């Protein structure tokens, strides 16, 4: 009887263990099944991501190709823009050159072309030539206050500045002679010829050949020298003129050893600051320069 009871107990225990084992087996199978499903879902997700990544790569490659094409188009457009800009710049430059040329021509048309000619036995001014815009020189600048002296208006300020500059150096310079008409030069030459004979040709120009007829040449003196001009070259004023006259646009017409007239240290001609500076800096003589070179400075004469 006791043995039967033990069997029943053992059987019961076995049944319980089988149940427990079955439960754990079932639970484990369920978990494994759920895990497998999760793994499968993740695998599917990975595959989906890989497909999306592949599609993204394809789209990226397409976008890169499109970007490359856009860049090429951009480069072409930039080149076209630069080419057009160059053409516009060239046209603008041409227009500016044309405008400048027109301005130069217009400026030259307003300047007397005779002003830089070599009127010393080379070029001739007729009796009909008379400079425009003559202005009376203030008598404070002239040797004889009662005598009217005339000069071109365009150079009057330069002449006054020159004289004032000399005065600032305690040198009292005066204008002895300025513009002379064809007729006045004729009469003056006749007087010199009567007095000096053929020797007058050494210091006095014939009518039509005098720089004074241009209205841009002056003879300087001092109150002490008066009209005699003897030893002008030994005066401090001559040294000052040699060192400073070019700053005001004046140059010595007949220096020593010139081939036209005797040395006239008192006779100075306005040629413009640019040309006067060149003559001074290069130690040249106006009369020895080529006429074509001189004409090239006409545009700057009143600058």
**At how many degrees (to 10) do helices 153-168 and 236-244 cross?**
120
End-to-end CA distance of the chain: 150
Which residue among the candidates 243, 264, 282, 293 is catalytic per the annotation? 264
Residue 159 Cα to chain centre, angstroms: 29
Is residue 264 among the annotated active site residues?
Answer: yes
Give the residue from 292, 299, 301 showing the smallest Cα distance to 118: 292
261/259 Cα distance (integer angstroms)? 6
221/229 Cα distance (integer angstroms)? 7
What would the two tokens of residue 257 be? 């050893």
Relative to beta strand 134-136, strand 250-252 is: unpaired
Active site residues: 264
């Amino acid at each position: 009887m006791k043995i039967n009871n033990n069997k029943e107990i053992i059987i019961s225990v076995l049944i319980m263990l089988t149940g427990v084992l079955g439960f754990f087996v079932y639970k484990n199978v369920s978990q494994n099944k759920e895990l497998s499903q999760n793994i499968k879902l993740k695998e599917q997700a990975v595959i989906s991501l890989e497909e999306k990544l592949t599609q993204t790569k394809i789209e990226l490659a397409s976008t890169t190709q499109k970007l490359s094409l856009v860049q090429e188009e951009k480069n072409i457009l930039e080149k076209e823009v630069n080419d057009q800009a160059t053409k516009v710049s060239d046209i603008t430059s041409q227009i500016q050159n044309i405008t400048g040329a027109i301005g130069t021509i217009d400026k030259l048309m307003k300047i007397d072309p005779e002003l830089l000619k070599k009127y010393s036995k080379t070029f001739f001014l007729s009796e009909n030539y008379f400079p425009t815009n003559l202005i009376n020189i203030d008598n404070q600048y002239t040797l004889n206050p009662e005598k009217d002296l005339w000069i071109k208006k365009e150079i009057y300020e330069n002449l006054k500045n020159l004289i004032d500059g000399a005065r600032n150096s305690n040198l009292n310079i005066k204008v002895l002679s300025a513009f002379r008409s064809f007729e006045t030069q004729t009469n003056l030459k006749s007087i010199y010829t009567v007095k000096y004979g053929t020797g007058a040709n050494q210091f006095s120009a014939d009518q039509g050949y005098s720089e004074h007829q241009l209205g841009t040449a002056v003879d300087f003196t001092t109150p002490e020298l008066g009209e005699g001009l003897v030893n002008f070259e030994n005066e401090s004023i001559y040294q000052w003129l040699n060192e400073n006259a070019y700053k005001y646009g004046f140059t010595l017409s007949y220096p020593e050893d010139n081939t036209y007239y005797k040395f006239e240290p008192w006779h100075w001609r306005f040629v413009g600051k640019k040309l006067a500076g060149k003559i001074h800096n290069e130690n040249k003589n106006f009369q020895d320069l080529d006429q074509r070179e001189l004409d090239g400075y006409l545009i700057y004469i009143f600058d």
